[in-house]
Every structure is written in C-alpha cells, then in structure tokens.
Amino acid sequence: MDISKNALLKSELKAKYADLTEAELNEINNSFEQFVESISLKTHQQKENVAREVETSIYYAKSKTL
C-alpha cells in the first residue's frame, strides 16, 4: 500500500506512533519488515506487537477506502 496516497493510513500510524518522521512513514512502501523493525527499536516494543498494530491499521485504512 502506497502510504503517500493513503492519508487515512498515514494519520492512523501517526496517531499510534507520534514521533515517526515522514521518511520513516515512507519506509512502509519499501519494506514492511524494515518499517516494523524501525518502530520496534524506536518504541522498545516487540516486533510482533508492532507488526500486529500496523497490520490492523492497514486493514482499517483499506476497509475505509474501498
């Protein structure tokens, strides 16, 4: 999912991870795993939990844009 074309996903992720930079948000376009790892390191949360939260946000954004 191209985050630059999905304002809802971007706002969802910014709400959950307020200190993410624009560059970090755009990482999701290149590598989901790298994006999750970056958040995990920054927030000190387990990667599995971060991945689940990000996937939930993606699912929510997709459901609202159909």
4-54 pLDDT per residue, tens: 678 888 899 999 999 998 888 888 888 999 999 999 999 999 999 999 999
User: Which pTM was predicted?
Assistant: 0.84
**CA of 15: how far to CAs of 10, 25, 59, in Å?**
9, 12, 16
> Domain spans of the chain?
3-65
Give the chain's length: 66
Confidence at residue 29, expressed as pLDDT on a 0 to 100 scale: 85
Per DSSP, the three-state class of 18 is coil
Q: Which residues contact 8 (CB under 8 A, 6 or more apart)?
A: 60, 61, 64, 65
Confidence at residue 44, expressed as pLDDT on a 0 to 100 scale: 95
Q: In the predicted model, is pLDDT for residue 64 greater than 90?
A: no
Per DSSP, the three-state class of 25 is helix
